[in-house]
Amino acid sequence: MSQFRFELEHVDSTTGARAGRWHTPHGVVETPAFMPVGTLGTVKGLLPEQLKRAGAQMLLANTYHLALRPGADVVEQLGGLHQFMNWEGPILTDSGGFQVFSLAKLSKLTDDHVTFRSHIDGSLLELSPEKAISIQEQLGADCIMCLDECPPHDVDKKRLHEAVLRTTAWAARCKEAQKREDQALFGIVQGGIETDLREESAAGLLPLEFPGYAIGGLSVGEDPADMYRTLEFTTPLLPQEKPRYLMGVGRPIDLIEGILRGIDLFDCVMPTRNGRNAMAFTSRGPLKLRNARHKRDPMPLDPDGTTEVGRTYSRGYLRHLFVAGEMLGPILLSWHNIEFYQNLVRNLREAILADNSAEFRADQLAQWGGEL
């Protein structure tokens, strides 16, 4: 694990927000950082060059989906994910644990493993902790995740506790199964919004001494206030000297609230998914470009913003692309939204270094007219 090192540069004395530098085999990630999601080895519609220009430092890909197609052996034969995707920077692969939640109707869960019925052709994929690690070692990402169980937010506490116990047991098996030393394996804290279960989950993972820790099981339907409260009592349980990753989150306001509660890394499909559906994040708040009022609007997408697309293309033109069904519309808005997210976390990082993160939050909410 000598190829990985986390430098904690500064902690904002007013909020506890952190600025750091995470050293990986494929480069340094300045934190806090947002990872665009490239589930199948691609951030939909965007070239690696566009992602770099947008400021992306690290990408995420998914073990379950890549195991189904093209297959981990194919990716390995073609040089591993970095060469396969033509992405030179760091990559993180999720373990497939989220698919236990999102594809619950297609999976069968036991204490030993989870079996998926492929959503593509109906074939069976058995994913155990050992298999999840083996696949991720074939894929070759810098950061890999333990297989965990992510239960829905509305299950009873007994069921949440079962997921914590299973996640802890699986983490130990993942740690034992790992062979490659050039990949950082993260443990995942579960427990819903229950304080005692989060404490139990963290207590079970810390003795395994992972090089980083993730918080899973949030942004699965709970109220945002419950998510923020959960972060407030969970992040202090995790080591100060290691990176902290909040999985699958989220809205711009969620990134700010998470960072002010000590989170370093984020991922979410929201910027690209919304971009493909004609919704742009802007410095003045969200903008729905299919609205007829934008038909003759010559104003740039985001005249007060700092993104390349936001300064260059008019709202009328972008609306036309979506109405006409042109593929350039989703590409441009996905690119814009990714850059919006990257600018947001980079500017907040600068505010943290200046002990100014609380004021940054207040200023952003005022600009957005509330939550975004």
Q: Kindly write down the DSSP assignment for every residue of 79-93, as one continuous string.
A: THHHHHHT--S-EEE
First to last CA, the chain: 38
User: Dihedral of the CA atoms 192, 197, 200, 205 (nearest 10)?
Assistant: -10
- Residue 235 neighbours by CB under 8 Å, 6+ apart: 215, 244, 261, 262, 263
Q: Phi first, then psi: what are they for 277, rounded to 5°?
A: -110, 25
Cα 153 to Cα 145, 159, 162, distances in angstroms: 21, 10, 14
What is the spatial distance between Cα 259 and Cα 348, in angstroms, rounded to a whole number?
9
Q: Phi first, then psi: what are they for 94, rounded to 5°?
A: -70, 160
Question: Which one of the listed residues 12, 142, 254, 267 is annotated catalytic?
Answer: 267
What is the spatial distance between Cα 261 and Cα 18, in angstroms, rounded to a whole number?
9
Which two tokens mark 255? 């990134």
Region class of 75: left (phi > 0), else alpha (psi between -120 and 50), else beta = alpha
Whether 94 is a known active-site residue: answer yes
Whether 264 is a known active-site residue: answer no
Question: Which one of the listed residues 94, 142, 254, 302 is annotated catalytic?
Answer: 94
Which two tokens mark 358? 């609380």
What is the spatial distance between Cα 200 and Cα 240, in angstroms, rounded to a whole number?
18
Q: What residues are annotated to the active site?
A: 94, 267
